[in-house]
Structure 1
Amino acid sequence: MATDHVDESEYVDEEEVFIDDGEVLQEVEDGEDHPMDEDDEADDVAELPSHDDADVTDTSEQHFEGHDGSVFVVACHPTEPLAVSGGEDDLGYIWDITDGEVIVKLTGHSDSVSSAAFSADGQMVATGGMDGKVRVWRRVGTENFRTWEFLTELQGPDEVIWLRWHPRGNVLLAGSNDSMVWLWQLPSGNTMQVFAGHTGPVQCGEFTPDGKRVVTACADGSLIMWDPRSPTAVFKLSPQDARFDTGGITSLAVNPSSTLAVVGGHDGSVRIINLTKGEIVGALGGHAEGDSVESIQFVNLSGNDSGPGVVVTGGTDGKACIWDLSTMRQRATLQHQDAVTTLLTVPAPKSHLIISGSADRTLRTWDGRTGTLLKEHSGHHGPVLGASLGLRGEVVVSAGDDGLCLVYTTEKEEQ
C-alpha cells in the first residue's frame, strides 16, 4: 500500500512525559472538588429553570431546517462560513451559516448519515453512514467555496461510527461497528491501512495533534495506538490491564503535545494514559457510577500547550467536570439538567471558554478558569446531539434531535 503521502520527517523522537513514571495512581472521588487558584470564583453553579416547549426562547442567529428527521452531526468549515450536517434522512448538506442557504445536497447514502467532516484545508468534505459508505466531495474552482463535486465513495466499513481527517494532510480515518479502523489517502481513495485489533465497535478515535500516531478505543474496553505506516499496533491496553476496566470506552481526547490521552468509560470512569510509555498513569472519579462519559476536551487555560494541561469531561449524569492534570484535582463542575452530549473548547485568544451541549436542549458557554456560566444558548425543542465551532470560534453551530441546526454567537453577553 502506498503511504508516501505521510511525511516521515514529521515522525520525531517521543516528547517529554509530564506525569512522572513513578507517580502513584490517584482516584478522585465523586464530588471532591478542590479550590481554584487565588482569584477564581467558586465553582458552584445555580440551578437554571427547566425548559418546557412552550417556554423555549430562541437565542440563535440563524436556523437550518433542511433535514427531515434528527440531525446527528454538524461540522464547520475551517475558514469559510459553511457547515456540513448529516441526519437520519440519509442526507448530508453543506450550507451557509450566515443565511441558512443550501450550498449542496450530499446524496448517495442508504441509511442515516452519522458522521461528517471537512478536511484540514477545507478543500474536501466526507460523510459516513450507518450503511457503511464513506462518500467524499471536493471543492470546484479557486474563486469561492460555493461549488462542490462528488469525488469518490470509499468502501470497507460495516457501519461508520466516526470520521477524522489528518490534522495537516488529505488522509481520512474511520471507525467501524465491525471492530475495524480504516485509513484512506485522498483524492485517490486508495486504502492505506486497515487496523485490526479491537473486538467490538470502535467507539472513538483520533489522530494525535502532531499527526504522527492514531489512537482508537472500543466498546470492548481496549485502547490501541497505531503508527499510520504500519498495521501493527504500537501498544494495546485491554480491560484486563490494571485499572482499565471501564465497561467499554465511549470517549477519547489527546493533549496538544500528543503525550497523554484521556478516555471515558460507559461506567463513568476516566483514565489517563501516557502515550509514550503505553501505561495508565491516573484515574479521575468525578462522574456518577454507571453514567457514561460522552465527551472529553482539553482546555488551554494558560495560553500555551506546555504541561499536562486541563481537561473537561462530560457525562450522562449531566455534569461536565474540569480537571487539572498537573495536580489530578477537580477544578469545577459545570451542571446541565440532562446528559452532556458534546463539549467544545474555543481557540485562542478565547481558549478559556468551554461550550457544552446537552439533552436538556441547551448549549452553555462557561469560563473554564472559574466554572462560571457566561451564556445559555436555547432554541432547540429536542436534545442537542452535536455541535461545532465556526469562524475561528466566533460562532457555535448545533445539531438537534428536533431536525434543526442552529447558529449561535459565542461572545459573552453584556453585563
Structure 2
Amino acid sequence: MSAERAEDHHFQEREDDPEGEDFIDPNDVLIELAEDGDHPMDDDEDGQGPGPEDEIVWEDNSIQHFPNHKGSVFAVSTHPTAPLVASGGEDDLGYIWDIVTGDELVKLTGHTDSVTSTAFSSDGELIATGGMDGKVRIWRRVGKEDWNKWEFLTELTGPDEVMWLRWHPKGTVLLAGSNDTTVWLWQLPSGNTMQVFAGHMGPVTCGDFTPDGKRIITADAEGTLIFWDPRSPVPVFKLTPEDQRFALDGITSLAVNPASTLAVVGGTSGGVRVVSLSKGEVVSALAGHQEGESVEAVEFVELAPPVPLSGTAAPAAGGVVVTGATDGKACIWDLGTMRLRATLEHEDAVTSLHRLTTPGKGHLIVSASTDKVLRTWDARTGTLVREHKGHSGGVLAAALGMAGAVVVSAGDEGVCLVFPTE
C-alpha cells in the first residue's frame, strides 16, 4: 500500500470521528424518550436473542497468520530466499516474522508515524522500512548461519514523507520517493547519499529501477513521468500532462517490461499509457477501466517460455501486462496488438498485482482487493485458479514468497495472512 493511500486512510478515520471519541451536542437533541421496557433491538421477535445460526462465520483458507500489528497493515515484503516476511503498519512498527510458523522474529522500531514501506535487498542481507515520518531505517542480518537475527544499521534522512522504497535489482543501492517532490538514492551499508533527483511538481507516487538496473523511472501525483540515469541529476526525458496524449491527471502506478524497453503507466483518471523508454514518447493508450477510477497496480506477465539461447524463436512483441483499478477490474493487455485479452473481476478496488516468477509459472498472477479476497488467475485464459479468503478487512498489500509458493497479504483489520498460490 502506498504512503498516499495510507495517508488517505488516516484522513478518513479523522473525518469519521473528528474528536477521537463519540459525542452528542445537546443542541442536536430533538426529544427525549422515556424507557418503556422494550427489548434491545438485537433481540429477535421471541425475545431470545440471536441463535447460533445468526453468527457470522468468516471463511478462512489461509495456512498461517500474523496478528501482532495494532492497526492496519500497509506493507508486506518477502525475503528473496528465506521464509521471512517484513510487514509495516499504522502502529508505527515493522516486524520480521516467519512465514512457516507465524512467529515474530524481530520488532523494527524507531518510527514515529505509520510504516508504509518495507523492502529486502536483492541479496537478502538488508531490510529497509520507510514511514510517514520521513525516516528510512535499515537493519542487517547478523552472522551467516541464522536468518532470524538482525541488528539496526543506520537511519537515512532527507525525504519529508516516504511514499515507496525500491532496492536495486543487483546491488545494495536504495531508491525512495518522497511526498515533497524529491527522489533519493543511497548507497548501503555506508548510508551515503548518491543522488537527490529534483524535477517533479507533486508527491512522487511511484517509481522503480528498470529490470536491467541501468535506469530509474519515477512519476508523480501531478501527472509527470521522468526517466533518469542514476549517475546524473538531469532527466533522460520527461513526459508531462501538457502533452495531451499523456494526460492521466495524477499517476498512481507503473511497471517496466523485463527487457527494460517499455513502461506502462496508470493514472487517477482510469487511463493507461504505454511509453517507449528508448524514444521517450507515448506509443499507445489502453482504454479498459472505468473513467475516473484510479489504476492502482501494473504488472507484466510471462505467457511463453523464455526464448532459446540459439535465437531460433523470436520473442513476442511487446509482451503482456495486467492493470488493476479501483473499479474492481484487472485488465490483461497484449502489447503486441494493444488489445484487451481478458478482464478479471473483483467486487471492490484492486490494490496490487503479483506475477509468479517460478519457472513455468509466469502465466499465473495474484490480485489483491479491498473486497477482502485475493485471487490467483491464469493470465493466458483469464480463468480463476484459486480464491484466498480469511481477511475481515480489505487487503491493502501483498507479496509472493518462498519462490512463489505462497502469497502473503496485509489486512486493513491489522492481520497478515499466508496462502498457497495454487
TM class, shorter-length: 0.7 to 0.9
The counterpart of 1:220, out of the listed 219, 222, 245, is 222
Name the CA distance, whole Å, in 2 between partners of 1:93 and 1:230.
35
**Aligned partner letter, 1:377:** H
The counterpart of 1:185, out of the listed 184, 187, 190, is 187
Q: Offset at 1:241?
A: 1.4
Q: Offset at 1:302?
A: 1.1
Secondary structure of 2:56's counterpart equals: helix
**Aligned partner letter, 1:250:** T
> 1:53, 1:381 within 8 Å by CA — same for their partners in 2?
no
**Aligned partner letter, 2:389:** S
Secondary structure of 2:336's counterpart equals: coil
Summarize the alignment of residues 12-411 of structure 1 with structure 2, pairs less than 5 Å apart: 54-304=56-306, 306=315, 307-347=317-357, 348-411=359-422
Name the CA distance, whole Å, in 2 between partners of 1:282 and 1:335.
24
User: TM (normalized to structure 2)?
Assistant: 0.84
> 1:72, 1:113 within 8 Å by CA — same for their partners in 2?
yes
> 1:120, 1:169 within 8 Å by CA — same for their partners in 2?
yes
Q: Offset at 1:304?
A: 2.6
Structure 1: unaligned runs, 5 residues or longer: 1-51
Name the CA distance, whole Å, in 1 between partners of 2:305 and 2:299.
15
Q: Offset at 1:119?
A: 0.2
**Aligned partner letter, 1:138:** R
Name the CA distance, whole Å, in 2 between partners of 1:328 and 1:284.
7
* Matched residue, 1:23: none
* Matched residue, 1:10: none
Q: Offset at 1:233?
A: 0.5
Name the CA distance, whole Å, in 1 between partners of 2:405 and 2:202.
38
Measured at CA, do residues 125 and 104 of structure 1 come closer, stay the same or move farther in structure 2, by a change above 3 Å?
same
Q: Offset at 1:143?
A: 0.6
Deviations 1:54-109 (A, max 9, x none): 24210000000110000000000000000000000000000001011111000000
Name the CA distance, whole Å, in 1 between partners of 2:56 and 2:263.
42
Name the CA distance, whole Å, in 1 between partners of 2:157 and 2:194.
12
Deviations 1:341-381 (A, max 9, x none): 11001012211101000000000000100000111000000
Name the CA distance, whole Å, in 2 between partners of 1:170 and 1:137.
12
Name the CA distance, whole Å, in 1 between partners of 2:392 and 2:401.
22
* Matched residue, 2:40: none
Name the CA distance, whole Å, in 2 between partners of 1:175 and 1:101.
31
Secondary structure of 1:157's counterpart equals: coil
How many residues matched? Answer: 360
Measured at CA, do residues 212 and 274 of structure 1 come closer, stay the same or move farther in structure 2, by a change above 3 Å?
same
Structure label with greater radius of gyration: 2
Name the CA distance, whole Å, in 1 between partners of 2:76 and 2:132.
16
| Superposed CA RMSD | 1.1
Q: Which moved more, 1:129-138 or 1:52-61?
A: 52-61
* Matched residue, 2:22: none
Deviations 1:281-338 (A, max 9, x none): 0000000000000000000111237431000000000000000000111000000000
Name the CA distance, whole Å, in 2 between partners of 1:295 and 1:253.
8
* Matched residue, 1:19: none
**Aligned partner letter, 2:149:** T
Secondary structure of 1:243's counterpart equals: helix
> 1:249, 1:265 within 8 Å by CA — same for their partners in 2?
yes
**Aligned partner letter, 1:321:** C
Deviations 1:5-39 (A, max 9, x none): xxxxxxxxxxxxxxxxxxxxxxxxxxxxxxxxxxx
Aligned sequence identity (%)? 68
Name the CA distance, whole Å, in 2 between partners of 1:266 and 1:378.
28
Name the CA distance, whole Å, in 2 between partners of 1:219 and 1:227.
22
Q: Offset at 1:53?
A: 9.3
Name the CA distance, whole Å, in 1 between partners of 2:389 and 2:237.
43
**Aligned partner letter, 2:263:** A
* Matched residue, 2:33: none
User: TM (normalized to structure 1)?
Assistant: 0.86
